[in-house]
A and B are shown apart, each in its own frame.
Chain A
Amino acid sequence: MTTTQAPAHRSRSSSIPTILGKVLLLGATLAIAIWIIPALIALQQWLWVAVVLFAAIGIFVLYTTKRFIPGKYIFPGTFFLVVFLIAPIVLTFAYSFTNFGDGTRGSKEQAVSAIMGNSVQQAPDSPRYGLSVATAGDPAAGPYTFFLVDPEDQKVYQGSLEQDLTPVPAGDVTVEGGRVTEAQGFTILTMPQINAAGREIQQVSVKVDEDSAIRMLTANQAFEGTATMVYDEEADTFTNTTSGAVYTVQKVGNTDYFVDEAGNRLPQSWLQGVGGANYMRLFTDGKIAGQFLKAFGWTLVFAAGSVLSTFLVGFALALVLNDERMKSRRFYRSVLLMPYAIPAFIAILMWSNFYNRDFGLINQVLHLHINWLGDPTWAKAAVLLTNLWMGFPYMFIVCTGALQALPGDVMEAAKIDGASRLQTTMRVVMPLLLVAVSPLLVASFAFNFNNFNAIQLLTEGGPFPAGEYTRGGTDILISMIYRIAFGGSGADFGFASAVSVALFVLTGVIAALQFRFTSVLEDVN
């Protein structure tokens, strides 16, 4: 225990459970770091190596001393914040200057071995091997390693896209029936797993020497064949040994490919820096710049429209229903709270059923024949109407709270001065209330600015004009990015990242506005 003279925090000796807890925490940290880091290094996941080191060092520095007390409390949350909010933002910036996308994920070496491997042809006398597909990672995602057994001398080899054919010492694997059934540090894929990842595994070829490689033939057999595409490292060219065509590295669009004299390019490419090309495309390509501006315009209209409509309805209802002489105020409040209480995704999916042209509830009840989701303008109206339903209860609650908190004497004074009801509402209540709720209106605007669910779950961005896939009539910026990156027409991550950066900037402007309106800068205490 402390002596009375001692400074309060320093001299206190720790109790046994505390020490035990600390030792356990530090031990676990060390164990996890030692266990994970080699696997991450083997797969060249440098970012994650850095993350694990950051966590381990942070934990050791902060929790072994008695200093940095605030740090001990702030670190855990900050760690997740840095790894999953800040690092992705930085990465997005980096991606926006590359051609990252389908077919351009790997390095140039990987593209070269893929081109060579894909050209391997089976000859009648090709040697065959007993094949087991294995992975050190996730059976569904790879990367995959082949374990091969030579049927003649039962020797075992292993190899992958990155690793040329290497003999495996007999003790490291179990061979049964001419195939490897167990290998240390690897999971051997089962038949259904091989089927599920078939396309990826088809791409794997194990290089034997400059012009031959091993590829999968069936799920448990592989063959060694001759490559018809031969890579010349000095000249950086591919030569097709059957046709004699020579492929040199040339730019197509903003990406390097292997292209022959006739202008045919090979599909495989690799991750490259493209400078500002993605931004050039976004701002100067007439069609895309138009799409971007339209999406931005509609994002503003959608966010502002949602805030205004929900606020006006909520405020009006609060004014009307906030009268002490009404005995059923509690009832109204409970029922009107219901849309707020329903999880947003359920509410939106629910509403998406109401807009069917022929049988939808809205057209039926109101005897209309509006093509809600098929016409861009009506689809926008549908999005706003749905968002009004979801949002007005919140505004109603907030405004009711703010009305009840207004000082009564101000109203009294207005009445004594001879103001009519309307005048009191418009000139006294309204300004006072706006001051109270304006930070919330700005927050609501910022929230709706990136309200992906309200669009995707209701209209999926549609309706789409014929032949147009990047942006539908109701796509806001964030759902447009989603469509470019994960939509059906091939992943263009580099370009989508450039659009994301533009969205960061716009969100930043809104953040600045919000800071101004809420005046948080002054009242951090």
Chain B
Amino acid sequence: MSHSTSAPAVASTPSAADPADRRMPFGRWMAEIGWRHIVGLLAVAFAAFPIIYILSASVNPLGTVSSTSLIPTSFSLDHYRTLLAGERGPFLRWYLNTIIVCAAVSIVQVLLSTLAAYAFSRFRFAGRRMGMLSLLLVMMFPAILSMIAIYTMISGLGQAVPLFGLDSLPGYIIVLLGGSLGQVWLIKGFFDTVPKELDEAAIIDGCTHWQVFSKILLPTLTPILATTLLISLVGVMSEFLLGSIFLTSNDSKTLAVGMYTLLSGDRSNNLGVFAAGSVMIMVPVIILYQFLQRFIVGGSTAGAVKG
């Protein structure tokens, strides 16, 4: 761990690095470390300026594109009030809808993926290898590629069972459940890390396969499954294509669809309100991510792609 791609000889013992820094003349410090800070600060500026701009726009009382700058010149919470009062669309309803959709879809997704991953990890059966590989292949063709067929299927189902029709949250949710096995590979990896001797011992003690799963393996993996759940949750949140063709009435929209219609309806005048909404959506998620940072850094090489 103690390597560094451009470390000079002095730094090869990391513990000695700090005092060495201070003794360095400024020119040397610039050449070795200072320039790294300059690059880092540039990157920070690039990463942060859109966020700062949105924060600033959300408290700028005029709320138009032309009147907003990076540094807010005046402060008011009017846009938050307008938005929460529902004057530009039922924002709280969208928020609730999004929570319902994200919670339902990601809980079911992680649950069903975990069940299937248990079978793939712990049982040996005919078609197992084929099953895993075809799963990987099918997952390459997400539902949005077949949007037309999905649309007509759900419109047909809605004629018989209006609860699951177009423009209804349950209908939208069951469609997204098509990706229920999306986390099987990832979770199977976690299962594989738990030694098999554990469940063999349990079976000898008289456990059924279901008890091995629910009483032995599930508790062991709960923390990592919770992380998987939250990552899946943020992914579901950004689903837009199917939402935009399914959820047409204002009260059934999710945040992604609602915020899009809000902004594209009157781009120049709704900026402030949009910004206020964005802040209310971003803040909880960013807090969540900072909290989960170490899991994400560790798990990112396991194949998670931002959705």
Contacts and interface: CB of A to CB of B under 8 A. Distances in A.
Nearest to B40: A332
Contact of B289 (A86, A337, A346, A358): A337
A347 B259 CA distance: 12
B289 A340 contact: yes
B195 interface: no
A507 B137 CA distance: 10
Contacts of B153: 47-48, 87-88, 91
Contacts of A390: 306
A81 B178 contact: yes
Interface string A144-164: 000000000000000000000
Nearest to B245: A486
A74 interface: yes
Contacts of A344: 238, 306-307
A233 interface: no
Interface residues of B, number: 128
B78 interface: no
Contacts of A219: none
B196 interface: no
A496 B3 contact: no
B95 to A, nearest CB: 12
B131 A74 contact: yes
Contacts of B184: 77
A222 interface: no
Interface in A469-508: 478, 481-482, 485-486, 493, 496-497, 500, 503-504, 507-508
Given A36-B161, A76-B115, A507 B70 contact: no
Interface stretch (A202-210, A259-267, A290-298, A436-444): A436-444
A85 B285 CA distance: 29
B306 A340 contact: yes
Given A88-B150, A354-B50, A507-B141, A349 B260 contact: yes
B201 interface: no
A376 B267 CA distance: 20
Interface in B133-166: 133, 135-138, 140-153, 155-162, 165-166
B126 to A, nearest CB: 10
Contacts of B36: 320-321, 323, 326
Given A45-B157, A323-B6, A335-B44, A341 B152 contact: no
B220 interface: no
Interface stretch (B79-87, B221-229, B292-300): B292-300
A453 B238 contact: yes
A324 B2 contact: yes
Given A336-B44, A353-B267, A319 B303 contact: no
A85 B143 contact: yes
Interface in A66-99: 69-74, 76-78, 80-81, 83-89, 91-92, 95
A142 to B, nearest CB: 7
B119 interface: yes
Contact of A457 (B48, B260, B293): B260
Interface string A496-525: 110010011001101100110000110011
Given A320-B36, A328-B37, A361-B53, A73 B140 contact: no
B132 A397 contact: no
B300 A397 contact: yes
A346 B180 contact: no
A272 to B, nearest CB: 16
A1 interface: yes
Contacts of A349: 259-260, 263, 274, 278
Contact of B5 (A74, A339, A421): A421
A464 interface: no
Contacts of B37: 326, 328
Nearest to A73: B119
A16 to B, nearest CB: 14
21 contacts: A48-B160, A69-B123, A76-B180, A77-B180, A80-B174, A80-B178, A85-B141, A85-B143, A323-B5, A324-B7, A326-B33, A332-B40, A337-B296, A339-B51, A342-B282, A344-B238, A350-B278, A358-B66, A397-B296, A397-B297, A402-B301
Interface of B: 1-7, 11, 14, 17-18, 20-21, 32-33, 36-37, 39-40, 43-44, 46-51, 53-54, 57, 64-66, 69-70, 112-113, 115-116, 118-120, 123, 125, 128-129, 131-133, 135-138, 140-153, 155-162, 165-167, 174-175, 177-181, 184, 192, 203-204, 206, 208-209, 213, 234, 237-238, 240-241, 244-245, 255-256, 259-260, 263-264, 267-268, 271, 274, 278, 281-282, 285-286, 288-290, 293, 296-298, 300-301, 303, 305-307
Nearest 6 CB-CB pairings of A with B: A84-B178, A341-B289, A88-B146, A91-B149, A77-B112, A73-B119
